[in-house]
Amino acid sequence: MGENIELDNNTYNILIALGHDANFLYDTINKYREDAKKSNRDDLVNLWENIKKDRIRHLHILKEALEKEIHK
């Protein structure tokens, strides 16, 4: 059949972190932001927007780390 691919612990950890951050970024955080907006809490809307920006940055860092793991 196909090639036998091993997944080392570090690569696995990066993949799991990517999944958690992506789930939070694309599902959870939008709900939290909308809840804050419905409550007229601009301070919390700003909080969630800032966290979203940070998580996007984290996703890029994790993606770069994954690419390094793949090509090592």
DSSP conformation letters of 5-40: ----HHHHHHHHHHHHHHHIIIIIHHHHHHHHHHTT
Q: At residue 5, does pLDDT exceed 90?
A: no
- Does residue 56 fall inside a structural domain? yes
Contact of 29 with 51, CB cutoff 8 Å: yes
In a domain, 2, yes or no: no
Examine the pLDDT at 3 and tell me if it is beyond 90: no
| Phi-psi map region of 44: left, alpha, beta (phi>0 left; psi -120 to 50 alpha) | alpha
In angstroms, the CA 60 to CA 51 distance is 14
In a domain, 23, yes or no: no
The number of domains in the chain is 1
pLDDT in tens, 22-58: 999 988 999 999 999 999 999 999 999 999 999 999 9
Range of the domain at 46: 29-72
Residue 59 lies in a domain: yes
